[in-house]
């Protein structure tokens, strides 16, 4: 099967959905002729024109606000917010409007708004270009949250998002952008709420979010050499969350590590840990461990950055500690 | 009083009748609120009727209205169903939003009314987006976006109206400068004398209009609607008016005299410039309205109001389970 990059997978998903449905259009900063900073929209403006691939000013609140309005008006917008860090400007539009309008209308208004954004630390990003905000949006009822780790997943999940009637946040991690993976030529979509067991194992469950999936797989390889078989579970969507797959895994292994690119405090791990403790306390043979970005803004210097970001060694050590008990 | 550019007698009478309808509706709502039969954030429109009525009568069937928290005047001026309105205020299942939205969030897509937001300024980009959808679909419909003088200082206003002008969307932005953002005067919020002047800074036309002159509002909006139809993009109309009642319906009760932000004399002065009073004078002078005619209007309005109140009072409350439904369109779970 052919291998393409994560970015190419997004590009294909957008292209295919824009061909399939003329109501789909894309708006964001610098998304036109250059194809965006990473090439996500490469070639789209040439194919679909300036109306359907719209360059915007630096106006994140209006970018998402216009997307909300366009959805009300019968279009299917994809709003790009360059970085999770700039989403703060659009919080009112996402959380007070996109998330709530359907409910406030008594369930009558569809709200097909897709917001895509990349976040997470990369060398040299500095503190204001390094947040991974999945946990923030997981908190608000009315939003669906996607954190795909592989090209196959981001393509299928993006297509599902664009065909749905709901507000969806496609939250990428920048370090995923160069990841290559197998993606079939044939048409496919991936439903929300289905986790993927990336690597089966019997000794410890590692639930990994976004780019941490790759770090967790590296940790699992390390652990395998020590005779520890880790099961790596990738939720793929945080809302809706496939709690069943997570619970089944923890029932089998009795031990849980959750690793995410965002901060530990009130993170995705906090939610998943609470959920497992509520639903399956007797499954657990050890406390739950969370591995995450340390509680500081991301420092600029690369070794400093690496010291605060969760890596394969941290994950492996967390898993080991649960088995040493 | 502006001289009407040939609006028909029927239209002039309808302008008057509709303003009277808005005024009587509000009086009835205030009564019901005082009795505890409706609760919640109600934001009186008294004194501003000419803006809603002049604007909405300049629209065509299918045109869309976007409103902020002070929405009920716009809703009714745009022909919103009275029974569903009162039912929503009473939190009934027969309300527009099945009791889930309340007065600040009345959403009626079929009739093109979006009480879209309780957040000042947020309607500006959203209305722009609706306009964008319309122009992308090559529709000839137009959007009116109402917002206040307070909202004109928000970031959402700035970003939204800049983008609207940039993309030439078919939106008429009507800033109702009613003098106050809660208790803070417009003059205490900006050194700009006329908010409409801001439009020129975004490369679009802006116009100030006497917001208590229903015919002047009508004409200004009609011109702006025309401009939008010709593909010339948005206009910002600043309707200068005055909020006779408090920011919200309970203000009179909780704001003791030592906390007053304006004098009774100021209110009385503006009541002399009441849009309904002014239109009555005009119509009587031009022999278009008689006391009997007005009495008939009052009678009919009263009848409709009582019917709507009865309908709402007899309607069931939403079922308890509905609190956890309707979060995602088409999905019936929480």
Q: Where are the beta strands (DSSP E) in A264-310?
A: 289-293
The answer to whether residue A118 is catalytic is no
Chain A CB contacts of B331 under 8 Å are 166
> What is the pLDDT averaged over residues B10-28?
97
Rounded to 5°, the CA angle A195-A129-A94 comes to 60
pLDDT in tens, A36-63: 989 999 999 999 999 999 999 999 999 9
Whether the CB-CB separation of B168 and B231 falls below 8 Å is answered with yes
Closest CA to B32 of B88, B90, B77: B90
* Residue A196 distance to chain B (closest CA, Å): 23
Provide the edge-to-edge strand list for the sheet that holds A237-239.
Answer: A53-55, A24-28, A76-83, A114-119, A168-173, A144-146, A237-239
Residue B3 clears pLDDT 50, i.e. is over it: no
> What is the pLDDT averaged over residues B92-113?
95
Q: Per the CB < 8 Å rule, is A101 touching B97?
A: no
Query: What is the secondary structure of A83-141 as a DSSP string?
Result: EGGGGGGGHIIIIIIITTHHHHTTS------EEEEEES--TT--GGG----HHHHHTST
Whether the CB-CB separation of A17 and A25 falls below 8 Å is answered with no
pLDDT in tens, B308-322: 999 999 999 999 999
Q: What percent of chain A lies above the pLDDT cut of 90? A: 96
Chain A CB contacts of B128 under 8 Å are 62, 65-66, 69
Domain ranges of chain B: 9-315
> What is the pLDDT averaged over residues A239-251?
98
Look at domain B9-315 and name its CATH class: alpha beta
> What pLDDT score does B301 carry?
98
Q: Could you tell me how many residues make up chain A?
A: 325
> What pLDDT score does B255 carry?
85
Residue of A nearest to B334 (CA): A141
pLDDT in tens, A81-135: 988 889 999 999 999 999 999 999 999 999 999 999 999 999 988 899 889 999 9
> Could you give the CA distance from residue B40 to residue B103 in angstroms, rounded to a whole number?
8
Write the secondary structure of A147-202 as one string of H (helix), E (strand) and C (coil).
CCCCHHHHHHHHHHHHHCCCCEEEEEEHHHCCCEEECCCCCCCCCCCCCEEEECCC
Residue B195 clears pLDDT 60, i.e. is over it: yes
What does R_g of chain B's alpha carbons equal in angstroms? 20
Buried b (16+ CB within 10 A) or exposed e, A278-305: eebeebbebebbbbbbeeeebbeeeeeb
User: Which of A99, A106, A163 best probes binding to B when mutated, by most B CB atoms within 10 angstroms?
Assistant: A106
Whether the CB-CB separation of B147 and B114 falls below 8 Å is answered with no
> What pLDDT score does B6 carry?
58
> What is the pLDDT averaged over residues A12-28?
98
Chain A CB within 8 Å of residue B321 CB = no
Residue B2 clears pLDDT 90, i.e. is over it: no
- For the entire predicted model, the pTM comes to 0.96
> What is the pLDDT averaged over residues B273-283?
98
Residue B30, burial from CB neighbour count under 10 angstroms (0-12, 13-18, 19+): middle
Chain A CB within 8 Å of residue B112 CB = no
> What pLDDT score does B333 carry?
57
What is the predicted ipTM?
A: 0.96
Determine which one of A129, A166, A173, A211 is catalytic. A129
> Could you give the CA distance from residue B141 to residue B130 in angstroms, rounded to a whole number?
10
Computed over every residue of chain B, the mean pLDDT equals 95
> What pLDDT score does B141 carry?
97
Q: Which of A54, A66, A102 sits opposite B128 (nearest CB)?
A: A66
User: Which of A27, A64, A73 best probes binding to B when mutated, by most B CB atoms within 10 angstroms?
Assistant: A73
pLDDT in tens, B245-254: 999 998 988 8
Q: Where are the beta strands (DSSP E) in chain B?
A: 64-66, 107-108, 113-114, 143-148, 171-177, 180-181, 184-185, 206-210, 235-240
Judged by DSSP in three states, A1 sits in: coil
pLDDT in tens, A176-209: 999 999 999 999 999 999 999 999 999 999 999 9
Q: What percent of chain A lies above the pLDDT cut of 70? A: 100
pLDDT in tens, B158-173: 999 999 999 999 999 9
What does R_g of chain A's alpha carbons equal in angstroms? 19
Q: Within 13 Å and on the Cβ side, how many CA atoms surround A45?
A: 19
Query: What is the secondary structure of A249-266 as a DSSP string?
Result: HHHHHS-EEEEEEEESTT
Q: Could you tell me how many residues make up chain B?
A: 334
Residue B56 clears pLDDT 70, i.e. is over it: yes
Longest Cα separation, chain A: 61
* Residue A141 distance to chain B (closest CA, Å): 8
Judged by DSSP in three states, B109 sits in: helix
Q: Which of A51, A75, A103 sits opposite B100 (nearest CB)?
A: A103
> Could you give the CA distance from residue A54 to residue A59 in angstroms, rounded to a whole number?
13
Phi and psi at A320, nearest 5°, equal: -60, -40
Inter-chain Cβ pairs, chain A and chain B, closer than 8 A: 159
> What pLDDT score does B167 carry?
98
Q: Within 13 Å and on the Cβ side, how many CA atoms surround B191?
A: 0
Chain A CB within 8 Å of residue B163 CB = yes
pLDDT in tens, B215-234: 999 999 999 999 999 999 99
pLDDT in tens, B32-52: 999 999 988 899 999 999 999
**B287 Rama class: left (phi>0) / alpha (psi -120 to 50) / beta:** left
* Residue A97 distance to chain B (closest CA, Å): 8
């Amino acid at each position: 099967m052919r291998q393409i990059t994560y970015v190419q997978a997004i590009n294909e998903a957008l292209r295919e959905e824009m061909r399939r449905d003329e109501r789909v259009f894309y708006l964001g900063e610098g998304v036109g002729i250059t194809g965006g900073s990473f090439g996500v929209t490469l070639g789209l403006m040439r194919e679909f024109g300036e109306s359907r691939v719209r360059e915007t000013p630096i106006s994140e609140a209006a970018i998402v606000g216009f997307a909300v309005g366009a959805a009300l008006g019968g279009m299917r917008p994809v709003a790009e917010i360059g970085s999770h860090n700039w989403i703060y400007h659009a919080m009112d539009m996402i959380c007070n409007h996109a998330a709530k309008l359907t409910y406030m209308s008594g369930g009558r208004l569809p709200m097909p708004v897709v917001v895509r954004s990349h976040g997470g630390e990369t060398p040299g990003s500095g503190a204001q270009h390094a947040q991974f905000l999945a946990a923030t949006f997981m908190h608000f009822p009315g939003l669906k949250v996607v954190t795909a780790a592989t090209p196959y997943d981001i393509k299928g999940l993006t297509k599902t998002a664009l065909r749905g009637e709901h507000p969806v946040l496609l939250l990428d991690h920048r370090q995923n952008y160069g990841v290559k993976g197998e993606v079939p030529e044939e048409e496919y979509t991936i439903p929300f709420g289905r986790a993927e067991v990336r690597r089966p194992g019997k000794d410890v469950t590692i639930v990994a979010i976004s780019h941490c999936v790759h770090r967790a797989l590296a940790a699992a390889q390390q652990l395998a050499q020590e005779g520890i078989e880790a099961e790596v579970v990738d939720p793929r969507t945080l809302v809706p969350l496939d709690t069943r797959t997570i619970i089944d895994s923890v029932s089998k292994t009795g031990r849980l590590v959750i690793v995410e690119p965002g901060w530990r405090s009130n993170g995705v791990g906090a939610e998943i840990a609470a959920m497992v403790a509520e639903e399956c306390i007797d499954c657990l043979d050890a406390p739950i461990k969370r591995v995450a970005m340390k509680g500081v803004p991301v420092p600029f210097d690369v070794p400093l950055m690496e010291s605060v970001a969760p890596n394969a060694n941290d994950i492996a050590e967390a898993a080991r500690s649960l088995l040493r008990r | 009083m502006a001289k009407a550019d040939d609006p028909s007698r029927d239209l002039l009478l309808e302008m008057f009748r509709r303003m009277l309808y808005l005024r009587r509706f509000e009086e009835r709502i205030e009564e019901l609120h005082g009795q505890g039969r409706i609760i919640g954030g109600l934001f009186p429109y008294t004194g501003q009727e000419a803006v809603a009525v002049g604007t909405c009568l300049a629209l065509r069937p299918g045109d869309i209205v976007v409103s902020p928290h002070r929405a009920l005047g716009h809703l009714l001026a745009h022909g919103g169903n009275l029974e569903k309105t009162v039912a929503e205020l009473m939190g009934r299942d027969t309300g527009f939003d099945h009791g889930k939205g309340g007065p600040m969030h009345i959403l009626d897509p079929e009739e093109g009314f979006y009480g879209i937001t309780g957040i000042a300024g947020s309607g500006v980009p959203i209305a722009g987006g609706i306009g964008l959808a319309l122009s992308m679909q090559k529709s000839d419909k137009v959007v009116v976006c109402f917002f206040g003088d307070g909202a004109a200082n928000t970031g959402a206003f700035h970003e939204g109206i800049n983008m609207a002008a940039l993309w030439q969307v078919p939106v008429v932005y009507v800033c109702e400068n009613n003098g106050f953002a809660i208790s803070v005067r417009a003059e205490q919020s900006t050194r700009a004398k006329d908010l409409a002047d801001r439009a020129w800074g975004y490369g679009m036309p802006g116009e100030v209009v006497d917001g208590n002159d229903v015919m002047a509002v009508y004409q200004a909006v009609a011109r702006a609607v025309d401009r939008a139809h010709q593909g010339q993009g948005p206009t910002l109309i600043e309707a200068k008016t005055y909020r006779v009642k408090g920011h919200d319906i309970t203000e009179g009760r909780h704001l003791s005299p030592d906390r007053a932000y304006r004098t009774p004399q100021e209110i009385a002065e503006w009541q002399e410039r009441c849009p309904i009073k002014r239109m009555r004078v005009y119509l009587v002078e031009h022999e278009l309205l008689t006391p009997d005619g007005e009495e008939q209007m009052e009678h009919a309005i009263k009848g409709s109001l009582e019917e709507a109140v009865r309908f709402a009072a007899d309607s069931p409350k939403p079922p308890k389970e509905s609190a956890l439904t309707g979060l995602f369109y088409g999905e019936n779970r929480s």
